[in-house]
Amino acid sequence: MTVLTTDQEGMKQIKHVSDSKGTISNLTFIIFAMVGVLVIVFTIASMIVPRFFDLATMSNLLVQQSELIIIGIGVTFIVITGRLDLSVGGVVAMAGVLSAYFAQANTRAEFSLSSGLGLPYWLAVVLTLICCMGIGAVNALFIVKFKIASIIVTLGGMSLARGIAMIIARGAQRNVGLPPEFGFFGRFSIIGTINLAVCFMIVLVLIALFVEKKTVFGRKLFLIGSNKTAADLSGIKTDRQIAQLYIISSFLAGVTGILMASKFCSGNSSIAGGYEFDALVITVLGGTSIHGGFGSVICAVIGAFILGILSTSVNMLGYPPASQLLVRGFVIVIAILAQRYALNKRNV
């Protein structure tokens, strides 16, 4: 629980204290509980899924979830403030297509998908990230300035970003005339299929945890989510902080889009379909409260691997796509209900 205190000199301070009756906080309790769920799911999968422990399976699981975790960092911070960001899937697709379009050789060919702007790859990356942050800024404008519900605004942002991707890629993909360095980040292998995206994920998670636990900016998130009115009265510029979060979230989605485009050496307008919902699922599944004021980036990491193991298991067991969705959805609902039940019982 986040509280506002005043020291002897009248200076306002934000403190994060235990909000449970036990020896550990409710957040720590939920994290331990979901780690237990992760261990159980992993153990069951290892017993019933053939070749689950293969290096290829483990490395693919890590790579796939690292991309989702990067998105989940920004989404987690926003959810902690009591808001949503459903635009990230569209931003991922837009980032992939834009990075390819900016870097493609300018051949002036009649077939537009084979010709781009011919910019250096580093400049293509920078311009792509700026465009992605622009989507975040648009989201922030309507949410902060015009006070429109975040779910409505970010759904519009998702459509806007996805629409840009579809227009530039003509509803297909851009994969011709890309420079050799375009595939470096996505295809440089460390161990098995583990690429640099995993390294980016680890670094970003560590930075996010530092911001969350050790900075005033991070502590303010919890106060805004717990009681925005109190945060405003305490002098926190809540609107500015919320706006910054949406820009950061779109930036991280842009990073993910660039990494995915590099992995496939293609800017695909249909990529990352449903990622906005998966990012929200891993955040809530890991223990972050959808109502705000409670959660952690580590919750998104735990939730991502629970979701990843479920998805990998039902796929390797040969379930048809419809059944995969059903099984995955059922387990997710049970896990979230059990999580809420355990927390409510603890606080009785």
The mean pLDDT of 224-237, rounded to a whole number, is 92
Query: Is 314 inside any structural domain?
Result: yes
Token pair for 99: 């990075």
Mean pLDDT of the chain: 88
CB count within 10 Å of CB 180 equals 8
- Whether residue 111 is contained in a domain is answered as no
Q: Is residue 159 part of a domain?
A: no
CA distance 5 to 11: 8
**73 in a structural domain:** yes
Total structural domains within the chain = 1
What per-residue confidence (pLDDT) applies to 17?
Answer: 46
| pLDDT over 50 (residue 80) | yes
Of 16-20, 104-108, 326-330, the range with the lowest mean pLDDT is 16-20
- How many Cα atoms are found within 13 Å in the side-chain-facing hemisphere of 64? 19
Per residue, the 3-state secondary structure of the chain, as one string, reads: CEEEEECCCCCEEEEECCCCCCCCCHHHHHHHHHHHHHHHHHHHHHHHCCCCCCHHHHHHHHHHHHHHHHHHHHHHHHHHCCCCCCCHHHHHHHHHHHHHHHHCCCCCCCCHHHCCCCCCHHHHHHHHHHHHHHHHHHHHHHHHHCCCCHHHHHHHHHHHHHHHHHHHCCCCEECCCCCHHHHHHHHCEEECCEEHHHHHHHHHHHHHHHHHHHCHHHHHHHHHHHCHHHHHHCCCCHHHHHHHHHHHHHHHHHHHHHHHHHHHCCEECCCCCCHHHHHHHHHHHCCCCCCCCCCCHHHHHHHHHHHHHHHHHHHHCCCCHHHHHHHHHHHHHHHHHHHHHHHHHHCC
Residue 196 lies in a domain: yes
Percentage of the residues of the chain whose pLDDT score is greater than 70:
91
pTM for the complete prediction?
0.91
Q: Which residue has the tokens 């636990």?
A: 213
Nearest alpha carbon to residue 76 among 162, 198, 199, 205: 205
Averaged pLDDT, 230-238: 92
- Domain residues for the domain of 62 are 2-91+131-154+190-259+270-346
Is residue 173 assigned to a domain?
no
Closest Cα to residue 87, out of 136, 154, 182? 154
Q: How far apart are CA 181 and CA 120, in angstroms?
A: 10
Quote the pLDDT of residue 54: 84
Between 6 and 160, residue with greater pLDDT: 160
Mean pLDDT of 148-175: 95
Q: Is the pLDDT at 110 greater than 80, yes or no?
A: no
Residue 270 confidence (pLDDT): 93
Weakest-pLDDT range from 18-32, 53-67, 202-216: 18-32
- In a domain? residue 168: no
Pairing of strands 189-191, 194-195: antiparallel
The pLDDT value recorded for residue 12 is 46
Residue 340 lies in a domain: yes
- pLDDT (tens digit per residue) in 285-328: 898 988 889 999 999 999 999 999 988 988 898 888 887 788 77
* Residues paired with 4 in a beta bridge: 14
Residue 86, C-beta contacts closer than 8 angstroms, at least 6 positions apart: 151, 154, 155, 157, 158, 276, 277, 280
pLDDT reading at 16 higher than 60: no
Q: Is the model more confident about 317 or about 70?
A: 70
